[in-house]
Amino acid sequence: MKILYGVVGAGMGHATRSRVIVDHLLAQGHYLRIVVSGRACRFFQNLYAGSPNVEIQPIEGLFMVFEDDSLALGTSIRQNLAAAPRSLHKNLAAYRKLVHGFEADVVFSDFESWSYLYGLLHGVPVISIDNMQAIARCRLDPEQISGQALSYRLARAAVKLKLPGAYYYLISSFFRPAVRKARTAIVPPILRPEILAAKRERGEHVLVYQSGIRRGTLQRVLSGFPQEFRVYGLGEHGKIGNVEYRGFSEKGFVDDLRTARAAVATGGYSLMGECVHLGVPLLALPIHGQFEQVLNARNLEKLGYGACADSLSSEALAGFLQQIPRCERALLNYRRADNQLLLACVDELLHSVECGRPAPVCLRTKALRRLRKKLALAA
């Protein structure tokens, strides 16, 4: 089949998750054209350079601006509007190139609008795979929304507008919200091969992944504790006391994560899912103004897998470090899974599309039935 795959370029979590599905589709002999923006574009270009069955089409996507640990909404809007004429010109050129000699049989979208619009205009089924749709298509508990009513309503409206009327929605989640809409299924976290291959060997250091907190603030808080901290995300190198700043290295990061006593990061979904899978307690610091991160962090705390704090402070970090033994015990009960269920769902949906069937109300893969049975027994 010819497949158009859209990946939103904000952050790298969408790219690393989509890579798992792209690899599976390529292994089955499908032809893919990937539309992607930002850093994720370079990621895919490097990953699939020379591959005969995949073509990367760069596009211009929206971007977010952060100040300290908050989303600067006004600045983000202004900068996106300023870039809009150039972005529109580039995306129209990309669209003309895409439609010339390429007719997709199905569209996959990881929260990416451009590929969805192609599917809408050409009557091609769109399969949504991301974690964001939980906000719009699942029933959330009141305590998950408490104090975030406006942020929740804005996020829900934005998510509903992003990919309405898709053929099917696969929602990746380490927690299991109740699905309230048809053509929707929850699958476990999508894990890159490096995480699935990683062996948990707990050490004593704490891994910190932060890009929005100033180094001075970070150093001041972390230096007040006796633990060793290994910091990624600031693009800096060197060691100051008990705090070591490390540059980007996927291998080094995964190794530091699998051997960490605990981790500190934002409320981003991808790393959180990796921590839960590996059994690493996490202090989540959701970026202000992003309800999705608040939702992730509150569920992490509710399940006992970590803690949630509004910002990084000595008090929040000290409280989390004391909770690590309790979090480790809770993580022992987490039912770990690889990507087999997700890929079985993908295969079933592709078969339905290929046969010209309407979207299934409920997927019936053997793997999904086994998971539902296992969850029912656990309950």
d(CA 81, CA 96): 23
Q: Length of the chain, please?
A: 379
Structure-token match 């010819």, residue found: 2
Predicted pLDDT at 82:
44
Higher-pLDDT residue of 281 and 41 is: 281
What's this model's pTM, rounded to 2 decimal places? Answer: 0.87
DSSP state of 303: T
Q: Which two tokens stand for residue 118?
A: 């192609």
At residue 79, does pLDDT exceed 80? no
d(CA 23, CA 35): 16
With a pLDDT cut of 70, the percent of the chain lying above it is: 85
d(CA 171, CA 184): 7
The domains found in the chain, sorted by start residue, are 2-187+339-378 (3.40.50), 194-331 (3.40.50.2000)
Predicted pLDDT at 12:
81
Q: What is the mean pLDDT of residues 262-274?
A: 96
d(CA 302, CA 143): 10
d(CA 43, CA 34): 12
The residue among 316, 295, 140 whose CA lies nearest residue 225 is: 316
Q: What is the mean pLDDT of residues 118-127?
A: 94
The residue among 3, 31, 35 whose CA lies nearest residue 104 is: 3
Which residues have C-beta within 8 Å of that of residue 240, sequence separation ≥ 6?
219, 223
Predicted pLDDT at 83:
40
At residue 160, does pLDDT exceed 60? yes
Predicted pLDDT at 99:
58
Rg (CA), the chain: 21
d(CA 131, CA 134): 6
Whether residue 113 contacts residue 162, with contact meaning beta carbons closer than 8 Å, is answered with yes
Higher-pLDDT residue of 307 and 62 is: 307
Whether residue 57 contacts residue 33, with contact meaning beta carbons closer than 8 Å, is answered with yes
Predicted pLDDT at 93:
58
Whether residue 118 contacts residue 104, with contact meaning beta carbons closer than 8 Å, is answered with yes
d(CA 171, CA 110): 10
d(CA 356, CA 182): 19
At residue 230, does pLDDT exceed 70? yes
pLDDT in tens, 181-217: 999 999 999 999 999 999 999 999 999 998 878 888 8
Q: Is 252 helix (H, G, I), strand (E, B) or coil?
A: helix
At residue 16, does pLDDT exceed 70? yes
Predicted pLDDT at 202:
96
Which of 5-9, 187-191, 240-244 shows the lowest per-residue confidence on average (mean pLDDT)? 5-9
At residue 68, does pLDDT exceed 70? no
pLDDT-derived band at 97, boundaries 50, 70, 90: low
In whole numbers, what is the pLDDT of the chain averaged over residues? 87
For 165-233, give the secondary structure using H, E and C. Answer: CCCEEEEECCCCCEECCCCEEEECCCCCHHHHHCCCCCCCCEEEECCCCCHHHHHHHHCCCCCCEEEEC
pLDDT-derived band at 9, boundaries 50, 70, 90: confident
Q: Which two tokens stand for residue 103?
A: 């007719």
- Longest CA–CA span in the chain (Å) reads 63
Which residues have C-beta within 8 Å of that of residue 297, sequence separation ≥ 6?
267, 272, 284, 285, 286, 306, 308
Predicted pLDDT at 114:
87
At residue 67, does pLDDT exceed 60? no
At residue 308, does pLDDT exceed 80? yes
At residue 80, does pLDDT exceed 60? no
At residue 51, does pLDDT exceed 50? yes
Q: How many CB atoms lie within 10 A of CB 60?
A: 20
d(CA 127, CA 342): 12
Q: How many CB atoms lie within 10 A of CB 226?
A: 7
Q: What is the mean pLDDT of residues 304-314?
A: 96
Predicted pLDDT at 378:
45
d(CA 192, CA 369): 24
Higher-pLDDT residue of 375 and 276 is: 276
